[in-house]
Chain A
Amino acid sequence: MSVFVIRPVTALWILVALPIAASGSEDTIDRTVAAQAQGEVQISNVSGTVDVRGWDRNEIKVTGDIGEDVERVDIETNGGRTVIKVVLPRGSSHDGDATLEIQVPRMSSIEVSAVSADVSSRGVLGTQRIKTVSGEISADVAGDNSEVRSVSGDITVRGAGKPIALRVSSVSGNIDLANAAGKLDAVTVSGDARLQMADINEVRGRSTSGTFDLRGKLTHDGRVDVEAVSGDIRLRLAAAEGLSTEIESFSGDIHGCLATSVERVSKYGPGVRLTVRTVEAGALVRAKTLSGDIEICDK
């Protein structure tokens, strides 16, 4: 009868290597699934990062590092819809970091939902809906009807210079938008909004206490409607065919190169108003504040 004997040194090696091998398999993810060229990709992660990249293959590739508090990463494809979800253990009080890089077909529509995870998106041409709680968002957006929103995270969006409808909103985060065009809805409570646009068809904006700064070129019938409470509004809007303004502040000032005929709203009460009409019909800029100042210029 033969007896299989394990030497003590070998046994020690096995004991050490087994947990390392087991945990090593959960440390990283590298999976590729087939996808449709214009499919929908939904991604959710709590903490860490989500980097989405558009590429020219009809596949979705998910790579990254998975923290030890993450239970697993689910990737499910059903028809044209793929769901990628970082799953934490039930009742987990840990953040469970996951650092994901996700390559998707360029024309995909994406929907990203995160808590404290930072989200970035590059080279995706379909509609994008990105939301975080405290995570920062940095996105190149080209798809129509896109939406980017956060609670306290800062938002940086770069448009493609072609007209789309875009909504950007934050509660306390700053909004930084460049090279957008078309229709924009931008809202912030206490964050500052710096918006630079090419052709403006319509902008609706609101800030409570943050500064709202909009620069761009109004189309011939472009509309800008901005409102702030205590925040300042700065508008630098070129209008080749002229523009009309309806600007009013309850207790703030109105100034800037177009503010040549500011008048008091009432002889006895507070309030100033600027009504300029350089064209009978065409581009119109409306702005109002409670106590914030308004600067308006067309240069």
Chain B
Amino acid sequence: MNRRLTRVDELKRDIPPGRDLWPAISAAIEADKAAADAPPSMARRRAAWLPAVGLAAAVGLVAIGVLIGLSFAPQGATPPVVKTQTGGSPEMMPAAYRNQRDALLIEVQAKLSSMPEVERKKVASSLATLRRSIDEIEAALGRDPANALLQELFVSSCQEEMRALTAVRDSGSQET
């Protein structure tokens, strides 16, 4: 039977918990300490590595895409590389791709110059739009290199540019 207390100093000094809580608390403290010691550098390292890994992945993807895109590129001798009006500075593209593209651009410029003015403007404007799009995607990738959507759009846009340039270069050729 419980005895009624009449004074505060009659209360027990310690009240034991139902179970021992210390092991869990200790483990949590140790985990925090571990996170504060070794993991900080890991976390920083992870943060520092993430864009680099993303960029590497993007470049890898571009290389794969470019290899596919090269199937659209002209065969045979490669004319000397020149700067053209529609040529940007596609830094992410491999050198082989840039060379093929520049060679194709020379042929496309020749083709454009033989077109009537209205048509030439229309086609040149489309090609410029395509190049601008690639530049936009590239700029966005620079800010968010690990973005899978941007990587995909970049690769397919580079391939599309090669397709369009090839279509213009080959236009009007009498195959029959």
Contact = CB atoms under 8 A, between A and B. Distances in A.
B153 A171 contact: no
B152 interface: yes
Contact of B129 (A43, A133, A190, A288): A190
A248 interface: yes
B174 A133 contact: no
Interface residues of A, number: 37
A187 interface: yes
Contacts of A85: 174, 176
Nearest to A132: B171
Given A113-B175, A134-B116, A229-B153, A187 B160 contact: yes
Interface in A157-193: 169, 171-172, 187, 189-191
Contacts, number: 102
B62 interface: no
Interface string A27-59: 000000000000000111010000000000000
Nearest to A112: B176
B68 interface: no
Given A44-B174, A133-B115, A227-B153, A171 B167 contact: yes
A250 B133 contact: no
Contact of A230 (B116, B123, B133, B171): B133
Interface stretch (B34-42, B95-103, B142-150): B142-150
A189 B119 contact: no
Contacts of A133: 115, 119, 171-172
A271 B149 contact: yes
Given A134-B116, A250-B147, A171 B168 contact: yes
B158 to A, nearest CB: 12
Contact of B160 (A111, A115, A152, A208): A208
Given A229-B133, A229-B153, A290-B140, A206 B167 contact: no
Main secondary structure of the interface of A (DSSP, over half): loop
A83 B126 contact: no
A290 B136 contact: yes
B86 interface: no
Nearest to A190: B126
A149 interface: yes
Given A134-B115, A189-B129, A171 B164 contact: yes
Given A43-B176, A115-B172, A288 B152 contact: yes
A246 B160 CA distance: 22
Contact of A248 (B144, B149, B167, B171): B149
A169 B150 CA distance: 23
A25 to B, nearest CB: 25
Interface in B121-155: 122-123, 125-127, 129-130, 133, 136-137, 140, 144, 147, 149-150, 152-153
Contacts of A229: 133, 136-137, 153, 157
A79 interface: no
Contacts of A250: 140, 147, 149-150, 153
Interface of B: 115-116, 119, 122-123, 125-127, 129-130, 133, 136-137, 140, 144, 147, 149-150, 152-153, 156-157, 160, 163-164, 167-168, 171-176
Given A230-B133, A290-B136, 14 more contacts: A85-B174, A113-B173, A113-B175, A116-B119, A134-B119, A152-B119, A187-B163, A189-B130, A189-B164, A190-B126, A208-B160, A227-B156, A229-B137, A269-B144
12 contacts: A44-B174, A44-B175, A113-B174, A116-B116, A131-B171, A134-B116, A171-B123, A171-B164, A172-B123, A208-B130, A209-B129, A250-B150
